[in-house]
Structure 1
Amino acid sequence: MITATRWFDDVLNPEGAEAVTVALPYAGAAGRAFRPLHPYLPDGCALALVDLPGHGRRMSETCLRDAEAVIDGVLDAIGTLGSRRLVLLGYSLGGWLAYEIATRLTEAGTPPAGLIVCGTRAPHHGIGHPPVAHLPAGETFLREAVAMGLASPAMLELPGLADLFATALHADLTVVQSFAFRPRPPLPVPACVVGFDADWLVPEPALRAWDDLCAAPPLHQRLMGGHLAMHDQQEEFGTAIRAGLDHVLGVRKEG
């Protein structure tokens, strides 16, 4: 049985899991953003929801601001999962982290079963928006982030919480700006790329560029909506992730 740890806010479907999907959320979010995926998990597949320091149940901890520190922490946590088949699922910033973790596991001789990235530019295409982490964390910064589509407008509508949200988001966007892409051989594991048709932050060329980083062509899926459409299109997003999991885990469709 897989149990929750400091890095995993929760583990869904832990009993008897033969595979586990480690879910890394977008900037400013906690692992619980992926909870609506629960009904879409294949049999025998658990979902480990990642909370970075300063997020979700770890709100009292100091946020990390360096990509290397985040990657090292998640890699250590993955080491507690045992020998189960591992899928790395990342959304936006989480997609970059998932890719980097997949490459490091591969370099160590323990490649994951697969990679799923959502709303994520191929890392060699840059961040795709003007940097905002140079602004002090606070309401002005948060308004700029919301205006760019990097954060939900709802963050500005909760009295007294704007500064709290801004702290985690500011740290994560600093992580984004500290991320250094390093060219490697194409990733030799199956991959899935989920994009959104109205996401100006991650246009089609930045999604198709994932083909350059994968040894085999990824499964590409496109949904309606903007950068954070996983919340507006929950059923469609869940169905896309299920298709991605079936693809990377090699599940055959009947009929």
Structure 2
Amino acid sequence: MTSVLGEGARPHERIARLPDDQRARLVRRLRGRTDGAGDTDRWFVRHPSTEAPRLRLFCFPYAGGGGSAFREWSGCLPAGVELWAAQLPGRESRVAEPALRRMDPLVEALYEAVLPRLELPYAFFGHSMGALVAFELTRLLRRRGAPLPTRLLLGAFRAPQLPNPHIRIHHLPDEVLKTVLRKEGTPRQVLESDELMRALLPTLRADLELCDTYQHREEQPLAVPLSVFGGHQDVRVGRGDLDSWRTQTAKTFRLVMLPGSHFFLHSSQDLLLAELSRELGPTPRTTEGEGRHD
């Protein structure tokens, strides 16, 4: 499993490397494409396993991201693990649909979409905003008496009971929001492209609003093993923010720190996939403790 992505090499950065004419064509294609990486329906892109599936891994992307964030994971997971990447409204094949701005309507819609696919054992992975979505979807499944995931795998988001230490930015004017994005590593070529910004900002702003307006409700810890992943250089989410997730599970808890900043799922993709493979293999790891990659 060799990653071709460098530190912080997100889809926005790959777009930035394209010549101007190719970037313009990409924006036009985004308005009507399907992902092309696997069987697609409205809410999930399915990447079939090369063997009969024994477990489904549902993956939920970060703010502004789509199902393509997990495209390179196909074929890198243990045999029998079938990858299903969430495709939320407002991006990629669903770019014409308005993105949802509140957590409850989003998880209600995801509940209806995922429920028919739970005849096999399954796990959830979510990164940043996706971690919060995966957590709240699991709690909704429990309230409705549905089968629960065999484990939760969450990355780069503070424990949900903690207060948000950051200022709310979803309402900021475009130019101010661009300044914030520039500080977080969005390439200059993307920020200076009016066409790209018109395509990307509405969905990103909606996702930021979803996170900014999230309100945690106290419930009993989940009877699901929980593994949480963080980046050593993440200035937004620290080790303490991640360790506080342990109160949300009545089962085993693991905290794994990987090299990289907030988007270590790209920059340390190989290490993360190795950890996920250990979790999702035929005999998943259940030991409580902390894994480290220094």
* Partner Cα separation in structure 1 for residue 284 and residue 257 of structure 2: 21
Paired position in structure 2 for 1:132: 169
* Partner Cα separation in structure 2 for residue 230 and residue 133 of structure 1: 24
Rate the CA distance shift 1:31–1:139 in 2: closer, same or farther, 3 A.
farther
Contact map agreement 2:139 2:222 (CA 8 A) in 1 = yes
In the alignment, which of 157, 180, 200 is matched to residue 144 of structure 1?
Answer: 180
Q: Is residue 156 of structure 2 the alignment partner of residue 119 of structure 1? A: yes
* Partner Cα separation in structure 1 for residue 141 and residue 154 of structure 2: 17
Residues paired across the two proteins, number: 246
The alpha-carbon deviation at position 55 of structure 1 amounts to 1.1
Structure 1 stretches of 4+ with a deviation exceeding 6 A read: none
Q: CA RMSD in A?
A: 2.2
In the alignment, which of 72, 77, 81 is matched to residue 36 of structure 1?
Answer: 72
In the alignment, which of 203, 218, 224 is matched to residue 168 of structure 1?
Answer: 203
Contact map agreement 2:58 2:125 (CA 8 A) in 1 = yes
1:76-122, Cα deviation, whole Å (9 max, x unpaired): 11023141112111000100110111112122222221110011111
Paired position in structure 2 for 1:188: 223
Secondary structure (helix, strand or coil) at the match of 1:179 reads: coil
* Partner Cα separation in structure 2 for residue 111 and residue 131 of structure 1: 32
Rate the CA distance shift 1:207–1:81 in 2: closer, same or farther, 3 A.
same
Paired position in structure 2 for 1:51: 87
* Partner Cα separation in structure 2 for residue 98 and residue 86 of structure 1: 12
* AA at the equivalent of 1:95: A
The alpha-carbon deviation at position 172 of structure 1 amounts to 0.2
Contact map agreement 1:36 1:234 (CA 8 A) in 2 = no
Secondary structure (helix, strand or coil) at the match of 1:226 reads: coil
1:156-204, Cα deviation, whole Å (9 max, x unpaired): 2656202211111100001101211111111101111111101111101
The alpha-carbon deviation at position 241 of structure 1 amounts to 2.4
* AA at the equivalent of 1:59: V
* Partner Cα separation in structure 1 for residue 120 and residue 195 of structure 2: 42
* Partner Cα separation in structure 1 for residue 285 and residue 267 of structure 2: 29
In the alignment, which of 213, 233, 236 is matched to residue 248 of structure 2?
Answer: 213
Contact map agreement 2:227 2:253 (CA 8 A) in 1 = yes
1:46-85 maps to which residues of 2 (within 5 A)?
46-85=82-121
In the alignment, which of 153, 159, 172 is matched to residue 187 of structure 2?
Answer: 153
* Partner Cα separation in structure 1 for residue 285 and residue 136 of structure 2: 28
Paired position in structure 1 for 2:212: 177
1:88-99 maps to which residues of 2 (within 5 A)?
88-99=124-135
Identity %: 28
Secondary structure (helix, strand or coil) at the match of 1:122 reads: coil
Secondary structure (helix, strand or coil) at the match of 1:143 reads: helix
* Partner Cα separation in structure 2 for residue 124 and residue 169 of structure 1: 23
Which ranges in structure 2 are unaligned for 5 or more consecutive residues? 1-37, 287-294
* Partner Cα separation in structure 2 for residue 116 and residue 195 of structure 1: 11
Secondary structure (helix, strand or coil) at the match of 1:251 reads: coil
Which ranges in structure 1 are unaligned for 5 or more consecutive residues? none
Q: Is residue 238 of structure 2 the alignment partner of residue 203 of structure 1? A: yes
The alpha-carbon deviation at position 3 of structure 1 amounts to 4.9
* AA at the equivalent of 1:220: L
Q: Is residue 288 of structure 2 the alignment partner of residue 251 of structure 1? A: no
Contact map agreement 1:66 1:178 (CA 8 A) in 2 = yes
Contact map agreement 1:142 1:162 (CA 8 A) in 2 = no
Q: TM-score, normalised by structure 1?
A: 0.88
In the alignment, which of 45, 53, 61 is matched to residue 25 of structure 1?
Answer: 61
* AA at the equivalent of 1:117: L
The alpha-carbon deviation at position 127 of structure 1 amounts to 3.2
* Partner Cα separation in structure 2 for residue 27 and residue 56 of structure 1: 13
